Structure formats: structure tokens, C-alpha cells
Amino acid sequence: MKEEGKHKKAKKYGMVINLDECTGCGACMVACMAENNVPFKEDESNKLDSIAWMRVYKLTNGKSYPEADICYLPRPCMHCEGDHGHSPCVSVCPATATDYSHETGIVSQIYTRCFGCRYCMGACPYHARYFNWWDPVWPEGSTKYLSPNVSPRMRGVVEKCSFCFHRYQLAMDKAYFEGRTELEEDEYQTSCTQACPAGAITFGDLNNPEHKVHQLAKPDNKHGGRPGNPNVFRLLERLGTNPKVYYMSSREWVRRAGDNYLDNEDFAKNYRR
Amino acid sequence: MSTQDDKAKEVSADGVAGPIILFFILGLAASLVFGWIIFPKLLYSQKKQPIDFNHVLHVEAVEEGCESCHFFREDGSFSGIPKLEQCVDCHEDAQGEDPNEIKFVEEYVANGREVPWLVYARQPDCVFFSHAAHVKKAEMDCGTCHGHIGESEHSRVYEENRITGYSRDIWGKNISGLKKHTWERMKMDDCAECHATKEIGTDVETLPWPINWLPRPYEKQTGNQARVKTVKEACFVCHK
Amino acid sequence: MFPFSFEWIWDVGHMVFMGGLWYALTIIGLGMTYCILKSVIDTMQGKGGHHH
Amino acid sequence: MDSALIPEGVKRCSFGKFALGIIIVGGVLLWGVYAMLLVWLKGLNQTNMNDFYGFALWIWADLGVIALGGGAFFTGLLRYVIGKDELKNIINCAVLIGFICYSSALLILAIDIGQPLRGWFIFWHANVHSMLTEVAFCLSCYFAVLTIEYIPLILENRQLNKVPFFHNLAHNMHEVMAIFAATGAFLSFFHQGSLGGVAGVLYGRPFAVREGIFIWPWTFFLFTWSAAAYGPCFTLFVTRLMEKITGKKLVKQNVINLLAKISGWTMGTYIIAKIIDTWYWAAATAPALGLNLIDFYSNNPFYGIWILIAEIVVCGVIPAAILLTPKGRSNSTLLFTAVSLACIGVLINRWVMVLQVMAVPVMTFENWVMYIPSWQEVATTILPVAYGVILVMISFRYLPIFPQERELNP
Amino acid sequence: MKIGRRSFLSFVVGGAAGTAITPLPWKLTDDSSIWSQNWPWTPVPPDGEYSQSDSVCTLCPGGCGITVRKVDDRVVKIEGMKGHPINDGGLCLMGLSGLQLLYGPTRVKTPLKRVGKRGEGKWEKISWDEAISEVTKKLADIRSNGESHAVGSIVDSESGTVPNLFKRFLTAYGSPNFMTMPSIQDSYGMTLQLMHGVSAQAGFDAENADFILSFGSGIIDGWGSPVRMFKANSAWKANGKKVVQIEPRLSNTAAKSDKWIPIKPGTEAALALGLANVIITNSLDSKKISQSTGFESFKKLVQNEYSTDKVSKITGINSATIVSLAKNFARASKPLAICGKGQGSIPGNLNEFMAVHALNALVGNINEDGGVWAVTETDYIKWPELEMDSVAESGMQKERIDGAGSEYPHAKSLLNRLAEVINSGDGSLEVIFVSGANPLYSMPDSKAMKTAFDSIPFVVSFSSYMDETAGNADLILPNHVYLERYEDVPTLAGLSKPIVGLTRPVVKPQFNTKHVGDVVMLIAKALGGGMADAFPWESYEACLKETLGVKWDVLVKKGFEFNGDKCILEGDFNFYPEAMKSLSNFSPVSVEGSVISYPLILIPYDSIRLANGYIGDPPFAIKAVEDTVLKDKNSCVEINPKTGKELGLTEGRYAFLHTPRGKAKVKVHLYEGIMPGIVALPRGLGHTAYDKYLAGKGCNFNELIGPTEDPVSGLDAAWGIRARLTKV
């Protein structure tokens, strides 16, 4: 059963987002909503209950006019692996409605299993998990554009970014049909990656040195996947969540905004722990 | 109160035990009849397929067996029940006198209307099922899950669960939920029969485990799609 | 919840926590069964009805 | 009117007065039931919870009532397992409070989930790594134990006890109560702890995360210990309150002194542990994550450092000091102050471990988010209080809750 | 009795025992568990055969290629077309949410005739035959009264077959009043007219420029062809090219630029002339320019009037910055200066355009790599010459109602003047057609525009959606949306390489709508005579096929036609006298309102997440709007914390925003990225029409501002208005 040597490495799908190129246009948010049947309601201006698997944050450098600067930061689910092998949200779910796949590195969310305790939301420091406070209602006729690849969620369950896992499934279907078991880099891309007009998002297998994400982030798997590229950082790296979304910025204040630092801390020295 | 009870006890000891046992048996029998015979009839509604379809006839006429009509598209997706478009290739005009054939041509072909077939094997929306993975990759037979439908001369009655809206084929014909063959039930446990137990093409690394007689606790995934056995971490394999 | 479910894994976590659950349920179940049965027997033996 | 039901040898108020009381509290109860139905039918959008506050008032109420109800397990442990026999005079009261608290907790949990009809998944599809699974297991099992402890008390009602079967059942249950109590104590140890673990394992939340032992974080032990310390205080608080309302002495002073003393010791040791934990967290855990203690207590309109001082000093050190001194215990005003402060202290602790955890921004570009519960949340939280008051009224009127009452009020 | 009770009990016990060993309780538990996991009211999208179809997005002038993903006959997703020369796979959030316009609740589903008062929302559904005969009757009456010039039309642009059908229709009918929605294209066109003597549009080889000097253009806020500009921006970043953004607010573009230089709003032309002065004084200008006509007088002008110190005073930018900016710009190998504020929906001050264009000419980047090129007008529309009857001829002799071509000889269309002309009684219209435009929302001083429309007896809208203008029409003749129709899409928006796209019906029309081209032809045919003869085609599709000729097959196959050649800007650059006259008369455009009662200045800002033209934000797009832009039902204004402190306004406070034109309740957002004394309000909010997801949210900037006529072009040059913020 164990055929040593024949094993291919498990995949670890991840993302590198170039914050220098990101324009904050919000296309990723909408591409995600359109792809994943995300519901909407009359008023979405309260961002505390507005479902956006991908949310673009606006960061400011805290300086006064005219030294002020802003930067946008798109935040999908980080698909944390966790330093100790468990992502913050997966281990807390009481009903096994979310899990971490070692095959793809993707954190799933099974809506029919979830009973809405919201513990995972409390566990996630990125606020990447959203609760369906309302039953989703589409205006008359609008259910026509719902995609059959993603099941619409009901009231009372948690949902989040899946790295468009259904696209992986569909790509695998095609691969199987063609007698393959491996995917090409461009065969599986998330909706946001594809839509980004600035081309700021790169998606692929972080374990595969041929993939662009690996080349950009240079993840060090021996040390919780921390980036080898000095311009690359991850959000809240210090918590040990081992996220799979990497950010790239040439601006130090942006990189510093990725995590908490004590005032007297030497950022350059410490930012990767 | 206690004195009354005592009296009653005496009475029952004398001659009421008979009726009590009788009524007990009556209740038992009635509930058994209701539970095993009437309940299933109430639970499922019976629907007839719009057209009585003869699989035998068609299988004889085509060359590539099931895949002649139930084929894979180029994108790897599975076509399922054929669209009118495919039927029309042969059935532009009625072939023969069969009333079903005439109904098919007149009502559907002539009007370009799709036949609203009732799908026996329809899974709920939360399920992702890849025909490609099972038929192409794992080279499974259609019959493993679908049974001998290809040998049927008439369409079965479609039974729909009034509570869940599922086809009866999901739970299985047997109301007690027991099955003899792989195709008699299509619930999660049935998928799990292969996915959690059969180590076909396994690509996992079992962690060291000192106690050999105990089942192994946890297997670390090292490979990829190649294996069938899915451990606890694989919800997304079958769910969407 | 049950060892025959395909979701069940024989690992430390299941043995400790599910073991704890089943232990508690067993104690409660057996304890109550004992109390009820004993009380039925006691009652049939005529105990308990004398103090008034 | 209902004199046949009232325990022999004790005096109770007139039925009319009693009924009036029930009606008034019942009104509040109905308000809560209405809110509860609203939540069940329309969903959790009836609350002011949001994606930042997945846990809010209800989970606090849950943790709160369970901590306060901790008197039942600890008193039970002392009485049945350790053998402090005097406590039999207050154990009924502790059991009653425990029963109310735990049934309330279960009810609140059933309201708090998004898909209540799937609530049983927590057992059926249990993830044993989740603290919440542990909570649910122990909570429901322990509730069963409390029910078992409460049933004999009901059966001791004057009329019910006349039925031979009930009489025998009550007797037989008393016989094996030690086993149940021991099981209950075991379960309670775990679920009080796992409730602490609920926050403690959130390693994504620097306010909640506390380094741990084996699979359990510090909060696991702190919660168990604090429930043991503060739970009996609530038993004493309720007893004292009932004494004030009824104008009767219900429990002898030596019993109260004993429980207060034990509580004082547990509280004293707990508060030392809590201070060490807080210090370690402030000095080591948080700075390693790039945060200062004051970051958790500033830049927001509510959570100032005062809340930490109130919890640890005012409602921790002070009541512990009072309860540890014989003078403090014997002075009824001081004692009452101490147990009241203690109850507030444990409630503050549970509040911050639920709500402040959610309020503190973790990502540098997010802000503090404040939360005010909706009336539906408040009503459903008051609902168990009203239900508890009613159950206490009925139980006190018809059941021999306080064995010493007849002796103390001849 | 006793036996009965006991028997009954034993019957029940027997029943219970029996039931426990039947499937009933277990099956019911299982089924109800399943039921509770798949609630019947949660929609289940049907699966089917997947297919793809290429088309073009028309939601903005950007002309992106799209690929729609279909499941059977449902479109489930719109994506950017891979390999498309403009967007190569990327797409903006409007394009991505296009299906919400196709299937959404805001569609007009059938021809509607007003039955209540205007704008009351009471409609009668009528048939297409009735609708067309209604219009025909009206038009026939007016024409027979010799009032044919009192019919006008407003369309989105002047290129493509549909606008040309309208133009042809009006010409054959006898009216010169063919009006288009204004944009910076008008100003650029006129600049090239005055400085090159040609009729052309400016195209920019932006991708290849290495120093981009933007005078407030929202490069990544929706200027030009948005996705193309995003891609160019990313390419600049990747290759270390420099972008300098000049505007008073730290917009997204400014934040992403290498240098943001805040400037007093309205003084951009002065800065451009000041930069020209530094360039000329330091002999950094190209040799070619010195040979151009009028160069000496230009030189004199900038040296005398635009010394660095003086410009510094006007613009508020310090002298050193100006000098170094000019030098860096001139020394760059492929510098490019662009202008047109925000998304470019306001034409702006002509002098600013000329000054900026002169900068390009000074550094010699016209028809050079990374420089300014041209976009030729569409060349494929070669319809047979019109034979005008006498009515048409006399109607066409009349002056246009907006004064374009007469009062303002260079202007083609001046929709910004329409409201004032009508409201002051200087002119009137009997009928107005509106197609692909929503002037009652998107024209500055939209309230005045509404008043003007109220005095037009017959308003016909061809809108697919219930927008503000449609809502105030007498008759709505709904067009197919772009996913249901064939139509040519020539893309002009600043592209140096011309491209024509073709929208195609990727789905069958969902409602009882008709292609606007077909409707125009049907009306013409019903009018008969020369009108009918002017439209010899059987249908719009036939017309399009014939018009496109050989292009048709390419377009149907690929979705676009593109040969990759840049288009030469014909005519040498010169400082022609007319241009020089205008430049020497330049003074910064002052804004409406007195300083005393309105101490602040209100400027608009554009966000790519907010559509502010014909299309309103679909639900997904409005959902993506930040809560510092729209909160609850209120727009947020950006002010500097210093200004906030002076006014006693804190973050999140409600305030009233007053301007000479109107008043609105807004929320305060303190923003360090804005010049003190300035208030910025997002454009694209404050709709009163469309659906509940958009209507009633925020305030419409256009209700707070009025147009300011540019003295030379007659176009709207208003960049802001004076304002006051008061506490609620």
C-alpha cells in the first residue's frame, strides 16, 4: 500500500497578493460574490453583517496631510494551516462542519453540517467567516444566475471563502476525463485571481517550485511557511496561524500594518519573528 | 389511594390479565402493520415518468452501451439524462406505434420541449459527485451505483419522499434501510463504504502506532487525488 | 457519535472524550434503571406506604 | 387552599400573595418566551450580534449562570464525596440553584444557535477536539445528574411522598446519590473547565489565549477553580436573599460559616492563580504577539483598565479577604457584601472572556467594535431569571428545601 | 371502566413497543434531519451543460471583452475575456455584476405608457404596435406643423451604429438636435481641433510611457478604459515607471502613484503652463516645437505670466517641486501628460486640456512611443447619402437648441446648456428621445434638468432599466440589454490602437423588449415617405451586418476586431491663434458661490466601485462600497480632520452640506488625505430610481452643483462648488 518514492507532494494552494498593484477596485469582491452565489440584502453598508468572502480593507499610514498614504488589502480566507497542524477555526467546530484538507491545504465549510454556533467566527482573527443572519432572498428572476457549482446557503450557518474549490473539482473532472491526475497551474485559478484587472493576485500550489506563488513568496515550510521574500508578509504572522495568503508590498508601513508590533520593537528585525 | 391500588392489583391477578395481554398484542400488531406497511406508503408519493422508457430496446440499438446516451462532455462533466437534442437524432419522427413513442414525438419533439424526466439518483444540492472520478479514474461500472437500470423495459414509478423531497432510491427500496447490493442505497454512509474503508490506490502515510491490534488512529495525507480513502479532513471532496 | 459511524476514528481524542461521554451516560442510565427497578420491587413488596 | 401541599410544620404566605407573585414574574417570563419565539421563528437577525460578535450576551449569560450554578457541584462534592455532612442543610438549595442554572444554560444554547433543529449534531457528528463539544457533553450529562438530584426533592413533597412508588424512588435515589454526585463533580470539573477552554484555545485572539497544560489552556483550570470558589457564594447569596424575603432564618450559621470559609479559601487561591495568569499574559504572552497590556484596555469607550481592577481586586481580593476572616464571615452585612461582590466578580470575568475577546481588534487596521444587545437578547436572558424565580418560589413553598427551617422557626 | 382504562394503556404500551421496532421513528428522524439540512425554500440552481460565449461589455465606454459562462440557457457568470487586447481576462466590478442588470428587478419588461402624473410611477403596459404608433402619431403631427426641429435626442455617444441611426433619423426628420452625453472626449476633441486642425480623439500609448504626469485623472479610478488603465498601472509598477498625480485629494490613483502633489483645485492649467515655462526656460523642449506656429508667443506668454513663483502662489505647490517636476518630466525618455478629472465625465476647462497637450508637444511625444496618438472615428459606417425632403432641409437649417455650432462654433453638442436654455425660455422642445443615457441623474444640476424635461410635452425613453429619466418619461420603449443583442462597440476611450467589439445575444431576450435600432427604424417606416426610404434595411441586424461588411465575420468569430496598429495623430501641432488667444485669456475657473456664506469648496470624487453614468450600481457593486463612502442611507463626505476640528465635526457625525444649488444630509468622514478646506463627495450615489438596492442611498452630487460654461468650448467646466457644512 505504501509505495514510497512514488508519492507526489501534497498540494498547498495559496495566494500572493501584490499590494503595490492592487488598486482597491473591488473587482475581486464582486467576482467572488458572483461566482459563489453570495446573497445580498437591501442595506449592505453595515460591514459587520455584510457577507463578503473577499473583503478589501483600506489601510492608512496614520500620518497627516499631505504625508497621508493609503493602501488596499484584499482579505480572503487565509486557509490557515496553523503552526501546530490545526487552523484556529477547524479545531473549534463542534460538529466537524469545517476541516483542513492535507491534500489541497484548503479549509472547507459544509453548510448543511453547520448548525450556526459561530465558535469558528470567534476563533478567526481575520474576520474571514460570515454568518447568515438572514435567509438569503434573491429578487424575482435573479435566481437564474445562480451557479449550480456552489450550493446557496440557508439562514443560520457560517460561510467563507473556499478558494473556489468547485473550480478545482471541475478542473479535476476534466483532467480525469483526459486521463490525467495532475492539474496545470492555470487550470485551477480562483475567481478573484482571474478577475483582478490589475493582475495583483497570484494563485497556485505553494509547494510546487514551478508555480508563481512559490517563486514570489518563497515559503519556508520548515518554519511554518514563513515567506523568504523580504517584501512578502502574512497577516498576523505572530499568532502562529500559518496562513496561506501572502502579501507583497514595497512600502514598509504596509508590511508593518500586517501584524502587531510593540512601539519600541525593531520592525525590520522582528517582522518575521 | 393505596388501598384502591391494592384492590385493582388483586382484580388484575384474577381475570383481567387476559384482556391486558390481548390489548398489548393488539397495539403491537397495529403499530407493526402501520409502521411497516402503511407508513412507507404515506411517506412516499408515487410519480410516473412522463414517458415510459425502454432501456433494453435502446441498449440493443446503440453501440457503446450506457455511454452512448449518458456520456461525458469534453469538459469532463457528465451529461446525465440525455437532452431532447440527442433523442431527436433518431426520433425526429415517431418510430412505430407505441403510444409512448407517439406521445414523445408529438408533445416534446414537435414542440422542442425537454422531457421533465424524474431523476432516480438525484442527490441533494449539498453533494458534489464526480462521475469522471468514479467512471474514468476509478473505472467503476455504472451498475455499481445505478444497478440494473439498463436492463429495464419499463420506467419504474418514481417515489418521492414527502418530507425531504428525495427520490426513494437514495434511502433504498427497503424501508428498514438495509441493502444487499451496492446500488440499493445512495446515502453518505454508502459513499463512505468505499471512501472510508477501501484503501484502493491509497497514497497515505500511516503514522507510527505502537498498538498493532488497535485500529490506526490517524493517517497523514502525503499524496494527492490518487486515493479513494478519505479521512476526516475531506468534507469538500463530496460536499459543496 | 457511535464507533460504527464512518466518521469515528480510534484516536486518543475519541477515546478520552467519547469515552467520558459514554461513561457518564452509562452511570446515569444504570443508576436510574437500578433506582426505578428497585423502587418497583420495593413497592410491590409493600414498602413505603406505611407512614400515614 | 393549597395547605395540603405545603411541607408539614412550616408557615408560608397566603396563596393569593403567592399567586400574585407568580403572575408578576410570569409576565416577565412570557415576555422572554415571546422574544425566544421571535428568535426561533425569524432567526438570529433579531439580535444585535454580528460577524464580529459571534458570541455575545447569551454566551456570557451561559457562562455566568453555569459559574453561579457551580455551587451545586462543589457543595455536592464536599457533601457526598469529601463528607462534609453539615452541608446537607444547604445542599438542596445548591441543587435547586444548579438545576435552574443548568436548564437555563441549555435553553439559552438552544436559542443561540443558527439552526436549532440541527443542534443535536454536536453529539451525533461530534468533533472531539472542540471545547464546545466537551461543553455540550458535560453540560447535558451534568444536567441529567442535577435532575436526578432534584427529583428526590420533588418526591419529598407531602402529597407525592404518600405514593409508595415515589416514596421508594426518592429513598433509593438518596441511597446511590453519592455515585451520581461523584459523576456530577467529575463532569462539572470538565465542563466548567472546557467553558474556560472555549476562550482559552482561541489562539487567534490575543486577549483570550493563555498558554496551557497538555491540551488545556490555563483558562480551563481557572474557570473550574473560580466556579468552585464563586458558585457557593451564589448559593449563600440566594439563601440570604430568601431569608430576607421570607423574614426567617433558614440555615444555621455554622453551615453558612463553613461554606463561606471553604469558598474563601478557594477564592483566595483562585485569585492568586488569576493574578499570576494575568501577569504572565501581560508580561510574556501578549508582548510576544506585539501587544501591550494597555492595548487591550484603551482606545475604546468602555473597556478600560478599571474592568481588570474591578474583576481582580474589588470583586476578587476583597471578598476573598472577607470570607477568609472569621469576623467577616460572622458579620452578616460583611458576608452578604462579600458574596454579592464575588458574584459580580465572576460575572465580570465571564463577560470579558466572552465579549472583550470579540471587541479587541486583532488586525492592526481594524477598530474596536462595541455591542449593545437588542431587547430580544435581553428578554431571552431575563427569561431564565424569571423562570428561576418561579421555580424557587414553587420549590420553597411546596418542597422541604431547608431541612433546618422547622427547627429554626418553631 | 377499570378494565377499559388498563386495556387502553396496554394497547398504547403495545403500540409504543411495536412502533419502536418499525422503521417509523428512525426513518422520520432521519428524514426530518435531512429536511432541516436542505430547507425547501433555499433555491437549488439546476445543473446542466456548461458553455461559454464571448461578447463585449458596454456598461462603460471601456469596451472590455467578456466571456459569459452558461449552464444550459442560463448565464451564470460574466468574466473577462482572456486574450482580449483591452482587458485580457481582467474585469471591473461593474462588468462582473452585469447579470444583476440582465436578470435583476430593475428591468423594464415591456413597453410602458405613463398613466399617472410624470414620475409618479403609474404605468400601463402596452404592445409594441401601440407604442410605435403612439410615437409615430406625435412625430407626424409635429412634422406637419413644420416644427420638426423641436424634436431632440440624447444618446450616450456619437459613435457606433445606434447613435448614427438616431442622427440619421433626426436628419431625415428635420432636426439638428442630436445631443450626446458630455465627457472629456469633447474637450480632447476640441483641443486637437484647435491645435492640430483635425477632427480626432486623443489616444495614449500609456503602457509604454515611463513618466506619467496626471492632472487629476483617475488612472485607477475609472478614467479612460478602466481595465486597460489598471493593467498599464501594474505594468508601470512592475517596470519601475514613474507616475505623478496632481490633485487636492489622495485618491486611489494618488495613493498608488510615486508622487502625489496636492494642488488647489481648478489651477491645473496654471501648473501646466508653469511647467511649460520651466521646460522652455531650461531649453528642455524638443527642437520640433520651436518651429511650430505661435511658439514664440506661447513662450512669451508662459515666461511673462507663469513664472515659477507666480504659479507656486496660484497652485499652492512650492517652487522647488514645480521645477523638479518639470525637469523630471522633460528629461524622461517617454513622458506623457494626461488630464480630465476623475473618470472624465465632466469635459472641464479647455485651456487645461490645451496646456496639458502643449506639455506633451513640448517634450515631443506626439506620435511617439509612450506618447499621444489618435483614435480615429469609426470608419465603417458608410450609409447611402440621405435624401432630405423640404421639411427636413428647412428643419436642419435651424440652429441647435443647445447653441453648439452657432454660439460655440467648435462644439458638436452642449447638453450642459439644454436645461438653462429651456428653463429660461430661450428655446423649447416638443419631443425628446433618450437612449443609453440618464440625464436626469447624471447631468450637473440634475434638478434643473428635470425642470427642463417637465416642460417637454413628450419624453420617450429607450432605457432597459427603470432609471430616473425613464421614470419621468411618457413612454418607455425598452431596449434589450447588451447580453441580449447584437451591436457594434467602437472603443474610443483613450486607446491608441483602435478596436471595435461586437456584443452578441448570449441569451434570448428575457422580456418583451426590442432593439432600439429596430424601434427607430420601425418608427421611421411608419412615418413613411423619405423617412422610410432613409432606412432601407429590413432590421437592425441586417443593417449592422451590411454596415460592418467584411468585419462582421471577424467580429462574430472573435468578438472584436483589432490590428494592433497605432493611429497617427494627423496635422502638425501648432499654437494656432485661436488656441493662443484662449490660453492668454486663461484665468482659473472660479466656482459658484460666495466665500462668506460658503467657506468650503466641494469637489466630487469618482470611485470605480460607483457607476455614475447611465448605469446605476447593481447590488453586488453597491455592496462593495465602503462604509466610509456610504453608511446606512447617507453619503459620507471626506474632510480633513483639521477642517473637522474647526467645524466641530467628528467622525461619523451627521451634517448638512449646503451649496448654492442645494442641500443634503451627509455623514462626516475625517480623512487625512484631503486638503484642508475641501469637502469631497462621491459621485454615483443618491439615485431615486432603479431598485431598492440602489434607490434612496446617499445624495446625488449633481443635485448640489451647477454647470459652468467654458468661455471657449461652451462645455461644462465646473470642477466644484462652494459649500458649507453645518451640524445636524
* pLDDT tens digits, one per residue of D29-72: 999 999 999 999 999 999 999 999 999 999 999 999 999 998 88
E146: CATH: 3.40.50.740
A171 in contact with E, Cβ within 8 Å: no
Across D227-255, average pLDDT:
93
The minimum CA-CA distance between E625 and chain A, rounded to whole Å, is: 8
Residues of B in contact with A111 (CB under 8 A): 126
Q: Are A13 and A212 in contact (CB under 8 A)?
A: no
Same domain as E364, residue E283: yes
pTM: 0.93
Chain B residues 203-232 with a CB less than 8 Å from chain C: 214-218, 231-232
The secondary structure of E146-173, three-state, reads CCHHHEEEEECCCCCHHHHHHHHHHHHH
CA A202 vs CA A21, A198, A199: distances in Å: 12, 11, 8
How far does Cα E206 stand from its chain's mean position? 20
pLDDT of residue D122 exceeding 60: yes
Return d(Cα D196, Cα D138) in angstroms, integer.
13
A241: CATH: 3.30.70.20
| Cross-chain Cβ contact D164/C13 below 8 Å | no
What pLDDT, on a 0 to 100 scale, did the predictor assign at position B7? Answer: 44
Percent pLDDT > 90 in chain E is 85
* A8 domain residue, yes or no: no
> Tens digit of pLDDT for each residue in E68-111?
999 999 999 999 999 999 999 999 999 999 999 999 899 999 99
The three three-digit cell numbers of residue D43, written as one number: 432567526
* A191 domain residue, yes or no: yes
pLDDT of residue E463 exceeding 80: yes
Q: Write out the DSSP string of D126-164.
A: --TT-HHHHHHHHHHHHHHHHHHHHHHHHHTSTTGGGSH
Task: Determine phi and psi for B109, rounding to 5 degrees.
Answer: -60, -45
pLDDT of residue B207 exceeding 50: no
What pLDDT, on a 0 to 100 scale, did the predictor assign at position E7? Answer: 83
Q: Are E94 and E618 in contact (CB under 8 A)?
A: yes
Measuring CA to CA, which residue among E344, A119, A260, E257 is closest to residue D201? A119
Residue B12 banded pLDDT, cuts 50, 70, 90: very low
Return d(Cα E710, Cα E717) in angstroms, integer.
5
Same domain as E332, residue E240: yes
> Tens digit of pLDDT for each residue in E152-200?
999 999 889 999 999 999 999 999 999 999 999 999 999 999 999 998 8
The minimum CA-CA distance between B87 and chain E, rounded to whole Å, is: 16
Residues of A in contact with B77 (CB under 8 A): 170, 173
The minimum CA-CA distance between E672 and chain B, rounded to whole Å, is: 44
Q: Are D164 and C39 in contact (CB under 8 A)?
A: no
| Cross-chain Cβ contact E620/A43 below 8 Å | no
* A1 domain residue, yes or no: no
Q: How many residues does chain E have?
A: 728
Sequence-separated (6 or more) residues with CB below 8 Å from residue D88 = D79, D403
* E29 domain residue, yes or no: yes
Do C and E count as touching (3 or more CB pairs closer than 8 A)? no
> Tens digit of pLDDT for each residue in E108-161?
999 999 999 998 999 999 999 999 999 999 999 999 999 999 999 999 998 899
Return d(Cα E82, Cα E598) in angstroms, integer.
50
Same domain as E422, residue E283: no
Phi-psi region of E438 (alpha: psi -120 to 50; beta: other; left: phi over 0): beta
- Which helix H or strand E contains E16, and what residues bound it? helix E2-20
Measuring CA to CA, which residue among E378, E340, E418 is closest to residue E180? E418
Same domain as E721, residue E672: yes
pLDDT of residue C46 exceeding 90: no
The three three-digit cell numbers of residue A98, written as one number: 469545517
Return d(Cα D100, Cα D94) in angstroms, integer.
10
What pLDDT, on a 0 to 100 scale, did the predictor assign at position A273? Answer: 41
What pLDDT, on a 0 to 100 scale, did the predictor assign at position D216? Answer: 73
What pLDDT, on a 0 to 100 scale, did the predictor assign at position D77? Answer: 87
* A220 domain residue, yes or no: yes
* A118 domain residue, yes or no: yes
The three three-digit cell numbers of residue D393, written as one number: 418560589
pLDDT of residue B198 exceeding 80: no
Q: Which residue out of D138, D167, D201, D216 would a mutagenesis test of the C interface target, given it has the greatest number of C Cβ atoms within 10 Å?
A: D167
* E496 domain residue, yes or no: no
A1 in contact with D, Cβ within 8 Å: no
Phi-psi region of E203 (alpha: psi -120 to 50; beta: other; left: phi over 0): beta
Same domain as E454, residue E328: no
Chain A residues 158-187 with a CB less than 8 Å from chain B: 162, 165-166, 169-170, 172-179, 181-182
Q: Which residues are bridge partners to E366 per DSSP? A: E372
What pLDDT, on a 0 to 100 scale, did the predictor assign at position A270? Answer: 57
Residue D83 banded pLDDT, cuts 50, 70, 90: confident
E604: CATH: 2.40.40.20
Return d(Cα D6, Cα D18) in angstroms, integer.
12
What pLDDT, on a 0 to 100 scale, did the predictor assign at position B191? Answer: 86
What pLDDT, on a 0 to 100 scale, did the predictor assign at position C12? Answer: 82
Domain hosting E658: range is 600-727
* E195 domain residue, yes or no: no
Measuring CA to CA, which residue among E604, E589, E593 is closest to residue E717? E589
pLDDT of residue E706 exceeding 50: yes
- Which helix H or strand E contains C38, and what residues bound it? helix C19-44
Same domain as E306, residue E359: yes
Measuring CA to CA, which residue among E211, A162, C2 is closest to residue D124? C2
B83 in contact with E, Cβ within 8 Å: yes
The three three-digit cell numbers of residue A149, written as one number: 457549482
Same domain as E310, residue E169: no
| Cross-chain Cβ contact D128/C14 below 8 Å | yes
Residues of E in contact with A151 (CB under 8 A): 44
Decide which of B13 and A213 is more confident.
A213
Same domain as E136, residue E74: no
Return d(Cα D226, Cα D345) in angstroms, integer.
10
Which other chains touch chain C, taking contact as 3+ CB pairs less than 8 Å apart?
Answer: B, D
* A6 domain residue, yes or no: no
* E330 domain residue, yes or no: yes
Number of domains in chain A: 1
Number of domains in chain E: 5
Residues of A in contact with E675 (CB under 8 A): 65-66
Same domain as E270, residue E223: yes
On the question of a cis peptide bond just before residue A66, with omega within 30 degrees of 0, the verdict is: yes
Torsion angle (degrees, nearest 10) of CA E671, E672, E673, E675: 100
Instruction: Enumerate chain B positions whose Cβ falls within 8 A of a Cβ in A.
Output: 72, 74-77, 124-126, 128, 130-133, 136-137, 199, 202-203, 205-206, 220-226, 232-237, 239-240
* E308 domain residue, yes or no: yes
| Cross-chain Cβ contact C10/B216 below 8 Å | yes
pLDDT of residue B3 exceeding 60: no
Return d(Cα A91, Cα B103) in angstroms, integer.
57
Q: Are D75 and D89 in contact (CB under 8 A)?
A: no
Chains A, E: CB contacts within 8 A come to 200
* E590 domain residue, yes or no: no
| Cross-chain Cβ contact E11/B40 below 8 Å | no
| Cross-chain Cβ contact B236/A162 below 8 Å | yes
Same domain as E384, residue E365: no
Beta strands in E17-115 (DSSP E): 50-56, 65-71, 74-80, 112-114
Return d(Cα C31, Cα E547) in angstroms, integer.
92
| Cross-chain Cβ contact D118/E32 below 8 Å | no
Domain hosting A257: range is 13-139+146-270
Q: Which residue has the cell 506585539?
A: D290
Return d(Cα A64, Cα A60) in angstroms, integer.
10
Same domain as E159, residue E136: yes
Q: What is the largest CA-CA distance in chain E?
A: 125
Chain D residues 90-149 with a CB less than 8 Å from chain B: none
CA E225 vs CA B176, E58, E67, E491, E565: distances in Å: 65, 11, 18, 8, 18
What pLDDT, on a 0 to 100 scale, did the predictor assign at position A9? Answer: 66
